[in-house]
């Protein structure tokens, strides 16, 4: 075995896959399925190591290696490699580990960016929910939710830079965990208010809509925080994401259960109002009473308000759609690592 072959075999053992040199400059694969790393330093390092300046280099990475490296070191992996490659002690092993670490440090931020993008529309949807809230009495709560939403949006937008720094990742993770607790607390608070506003004799359709939207936003934000925590912490292994999927499904079921129950309550309220209007009209069909007509007008207004809530506010989360999203998140972890291209910056 030549020295060059021994070097590439050692690197492949460390990262769990070979670095290949394409036979042509053509890219026939679906571009969206490729994790592209543009780095002059990494490319030049590979070119020197492999002794070849190809248009780009190709590889794949096992997710397990990514997870092992999330703390920014190969300490545990290095021990096993030294045992299997005793003849490679010294500079070859050090150089291989250094280059492997460079590969990992470039791949992880790109992978995290791709994973978070799967949930970008959910974060935008949460922002739209906040914009529908109209209640001066809950302005502090709305401001708090907006602050949390802005923070999670910033984390999603800056996930690539966050992933490059262990210290920044740790600080971000701590903040995300606190925001998740805040969101669950807000959920329980407004769910209690929602039940009170529905059962109250002073029926206020706007209060019901606001309490429902806030409850829904808090739970939706809670799901988004779980995803961000998973990515920032690097806990994207099969066991971790299986637990994550169960938590997300539980959130969706809880929200749909609330929505269905509220729909039933409001439908019952509409039915009672219709009965009351019918009885009033029947009793006063031969006379006119100003106060009675005001009462009928109020009842009709309540009915219209309820109908507006049912048609415009109570929108179920589609569990199938959301479960497809989490499945896409789960599958993307492996799929995105199957086709990795490393190239130079053509502009630089």
Tell me the pLDDT tens digit for each residue of 54-104: 888 999 999 988 887 765 555 545 555 555 554 444 566 777 888 888 999
Domain check: are 191 and 156 in the same one?
A: yes
131-145, 173-187, 253-267: segment of lowest average pLDDT: 131-145
Say if 244 falls within a structural domain.
yes
Contact between 14 and 82 (Cβ < 8 Å): no
List of residues 6+ apart from 288 with CB closer than 8 A: none
Question: At 38, is the secondary structure helix, strand, or coil?
Answer: strand
Domain check: are 201 and 298 in the same one?
A: yes
Range of the domain at 176: 118-317
Domain check: are 137 and 173 in the same one?
A: yes
Domain check: are 219 and 308 in the same one?
A: yes
Domain check: are 75 and 126 in the same one?
A: no
Count of domains forming the chain: 2
Residue 287 has what pLDDT? 62
Domain check: are 69 and 156 in the same one?
A: no
Domain check: are 231 and 135 in the same one?
A: yes
Domain check: are 41 and 186 in the same one?
A: no
Tens-place pLDDT, residues 204-242: 777 888 888 888 888 889 989 999 999 999 888 888 999
117-126, 168-177, 179-188: segment of lowest average pLDDT: 117-126
Say if 348 falls within a structural domain.
no
Say if 263 falls within a structural domain.
yes
Residue 59 has what pLDDT? 92
Q: What is the pLDDT of the chain when averaged over all its residues?
A: 83
Domain check: are 244 and 222 in the same one?
A: yes
122-136, 169-183, 264-278, 311-325: segment of lowest average pLDDT: 122-136
Domain check: are 78 and 141 in the same one?
A: no
Region 160-167 average pLDDT: 92
Residue 88 has what pLDDT? 46
| Axis-axis angle for helices 166-199, 238-283 (nearest 10) | 20
Residue 152 has what pLDDT? 94
Domain check: are 69 and 207 in the same one?
A: no
What is the helix (H) or strand (E) element at residue 104, kind and residue range? Answer: helix 91-117
Question: At 85, is the secondary structure helix, strand, or coil?
Answer: coil
Domain check: are 130 and 92 in the same one?
A: no
Residue 72 has what pLDDT? 56
**CB neighbours of residue 68 within 10 Å:** 18
Kindly indicate the confidence band of residue 184, based on its pLDDT and cuts at 50, 70 and 90.
very high
List of residues 6+ apart from 21 with CB closer than 8 A: 50, 52, 54, 57, 58
Kindly indicate the confidence band of residue 134, based on its pLDDT and cuts at 50, 70 and 90.
low
Say if 328 falls within a structural domain.
no
Residue 41 has what pLDDT? 94
Q: Which long-range contacts (CB under 8 A, 24 or more apart) does 79-86 make?
A: 81/10, 81/13, 81/14, 84/13, 85/10, 85/13
The number of helix segments (H) and strand segments (E) in the chain equals: 13, 3
Residue 271 has what pLDDT? 93
Region 26-41 average pLDDT: 76
Say if 84 falls within a structural domain.
yes
């Amino acid at each position: 075995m030549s020295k060059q072959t021994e070097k590439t075999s050692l690197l492949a053992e460390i990262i769990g896959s070979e670095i290949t040199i394409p036979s042509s400059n053509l890219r026939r694969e679906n571009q969206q399925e490729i994790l592209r790393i543009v780095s002059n330093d990494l490319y030049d390092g590979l070119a020197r190591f492999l002794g070849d300046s190809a248009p780009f280099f190709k590889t794949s990475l096992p997710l397990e290696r990514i997870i092992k490296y999330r703390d920014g070191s190969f300490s545990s992996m290095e021990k096993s490699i030294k045992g299997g490659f005793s003849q490679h002690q010294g500079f070859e092993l050090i150089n291989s580990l250094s280059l492997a670490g460079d590969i990992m440090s470039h791949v992880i931020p790109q992978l995290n960016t791709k994973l978070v993008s799967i949930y970008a529309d959910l974060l935008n949807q949460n922002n739209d929910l906040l914009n529908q809230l109209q209640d001066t009495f809950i302005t502090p709560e709305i401001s708090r939710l907006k602050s949390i939403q802005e923070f999670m949006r910033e984390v999603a937008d800056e996930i690539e830079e966050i992933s490059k720094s262990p210290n920044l990742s740790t600080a971000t993770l701590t903040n995300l965990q606190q925001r998740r607790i805040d969101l669950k607390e807000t959920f329980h608070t407004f769910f209690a208010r929602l039940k009170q506003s529905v059962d109250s004799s002073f029926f206020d359709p706007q209060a019901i809509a606001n309490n429902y939207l806030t409850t829904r936003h808090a739970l939706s934000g809670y799901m988004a925080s779980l995803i961000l925590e998973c990515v920032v912490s690097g806990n994207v292994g099969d066991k971790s994401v299986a637990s994550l999927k169960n938590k997300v499904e539980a959130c969706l079921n809880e929200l749909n259960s609330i929505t269905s129950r509220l729909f039933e309550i409001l439908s019952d309220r509409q039915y009672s109002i219709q009965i009351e209007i019918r009885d009033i009209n029947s009793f006063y069909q031969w006379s006119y009473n100003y106060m009675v007509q005001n009462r009928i007008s109020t009842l009709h207004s309540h009915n219209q308000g309820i109908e507006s809530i049912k048609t415009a506010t109570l929108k179920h989360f589609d569990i199938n759609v959301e479960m497809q999203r989490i499945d896409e998140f789960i599958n993307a972890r492996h799929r995105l690592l199957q086709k990795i291209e490393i190239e130079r910056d053509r502009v630089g």
